[in-house]
Structure 1
């Protein structure tokens, strides 16, 4: 299981040439399908439009690099990602998670996912820096239903019972 936060800044390498063609700038998520939809690229040569790669076109996601066969899998983000139903990881992190009953669970700081499928599995939640240091962060399974707002993520009330300390 990998953390999405760990993908940010990783080099993107071509397996055909061994060349670094950019770095992972952000990760695009499809919340309703609970999966990673793709990545956006911070390229050496800046283009007029943002480039990205669909998750299915990534050969592998490793601890130290993300691999693609060649640069031809890069496309304009507008051509790959549906603008209305996707969220960027950097936009989601630091949102408050609140149950529909009005209980604050904490702040979303990371998401765990399966690298082979791109399926999102767990939210990592922080209460505060002091709480993180004293007790550690907590995790909860990804809710089946959630509302992502400008400042908050609203989850079903029963998610509070599923929140537990990260091991």
Structure 2
């Protein structure tokens, strides 16, 4: 598992000669946000150019470096708006999470991914600095009934129950990824 904030800034390197292609600037999701399909990268040049690399182009995935297939380096696609949605488009971080009844559950502080399954697992949330210190951050799993709009992430009413029922399990999950 890897956090969104850990991905941003990771180096993308071409396999054949080890040349740095750029750094990850964002993640590309499917339209339903169930999976991620690639990354938006910026080259290190003065006039930064954004390009997309897709999961199929990746040979090795690490926390700090991603190695891509040297044969596919030439096929890196420049911003093709029709292929996926980026976190930049949605602006997940600090988005308010509401239940269908309008109750605030907190605010998104990070996203959690399973790279092997190419899935967005869920959202690490805060209920405020005092709550973070006294109780720790919480977690909202990425379920199929989540709706995302410009201002909010809206979850089913049962998610509040799911969070409270599994709070200790989620705390252990968050502790594991902190290491």
**TM-score normalized with structure 1 length:** 0.87
Structure 1, unaligned runs of 5 or more: none
* In the alignment, structure 1 residue 140 sits paired with structure 2 residue 140: yes
CA offsets, 1:36-92, max 9 Å, x none? 12111110236686311112322232122111122224211216624xxx2425711
Q: How far off is 1:147 after superposition?
A: 1.6
Q: Which has the higher helix share?
A: 2
Match of 1:35 in 2: 35
CA displacement, residues 76-115 of structure 1 (integer Å, 9 cap, x when unaligned): 1216624xxx242571111001010211111111121111
Pairwise CA RMSD: 2.1
* Partner residue, 1:74: 76
CA pair 36-141 structure 1, distance change in 2 beyond 3 A: same
* Cα shift at 1:139: 0.9
Aligned to 1:166: 171
TM-score scaled to structure 2, two decimals? 0.82
* Number of equivalences: 164
Deviation at 1:12, TM superposition (A): 0.6
| Inter-partner Cα distance in structure 2 for 1:23 and 1:94 | 23
Give the aligned partner of residue 176 of structure 2: none
Deviates more, 1:28-37 or 1:62-71: 28-37
